[in-house]
Structure formats: C-alpha cells, structure tokens
Amino acid sequence: MTAIGKLDSSNLNGGQKLGLKYFSVAVVLFGAQVLFGLLAGLQYLYPDFLFGILDFSVNRMVHINAMVVWLLFGFIGSSYWLLEDESGVPVVGLKLGNLS
C-alpha cells in the first residue's frame, strides 16, 4: 500500500521528472514570498520592526520578485509535466532544462 501524495519516480518520464524539479523550486520560492510578505506587512504596521536590518522597500521588492519567479517556474514545470504525455513525443533538450 502506498501513501497518498507520494510519487514513484520510476513511473515518470523525463519531462515529468524535470517538471518536479521546477515545482520544487516554485514551492521554495512561494515560501520565500509568503515570508517576505509577512515581514513587509509587519514593517508596514510597525515601522521600527527590523529597522536598519531589512529595509521595507527591499523587503517589498523581494516579495514581488519571488511571486513572479515562482509563478514562472510553476508554469514551466507544468509545461514540462504535460508536454510528453500530450504530444506523445519525448522532450528534446532535457539536459538544457536541467541546466537552468
């Protein structure tokens, strides 16, 4: 009996394995976005919070940039995940995808 939510990597094709790598990075970036968003919210409510350590404008910039990048990584990962199944053709350039 297998646990719900676990993926057996032996059943995945090359594009799906690459897609999982992109999804993993997207989840980490999503966590960073939430963390920096919470910090920015606290700095907005309490201006002395982390004063001199982390500027509000830098915090806001990291929050917004992390959002853009995790969305892009999620879309790229979903493209790799679906591409081989839908087209029936192996994905070309997986090594290049792994490089990025």
pLDDT in tens, the chain (100 residues): 455 667 777 788 888 888 899 999 999 999 999 999 999 999 999 989 988 898 999 999 999 999 999 999 999 999 998 988 888 888 888 888 888 7
Q: Please report whether residue 66 resides in a domain.
A: yes
- Structural domain range at position 32: 14-85
Give the helix ranges, DSSP H, for 1-100.
Answer: 14-45, 56-87, 94-99
pLDDT at 84: 85
Q: Please report whether residue 97 resides in a domain.
A: no
pLDDT at 73: 95
Q: Please report whether residue 76 resides in a domain.
A: yes
Q: Please report whether residue 34 resides in a domain.
A: yes
Q: How far is CA 22 from CA 34, 49, 51, in A?
A: 18, 34, 35
Q: Please report whether residue 4 resides in a domain.
A: no
Domain total of the chain: 1
pLDDT at 92: 86
pLDDT at 2: 54
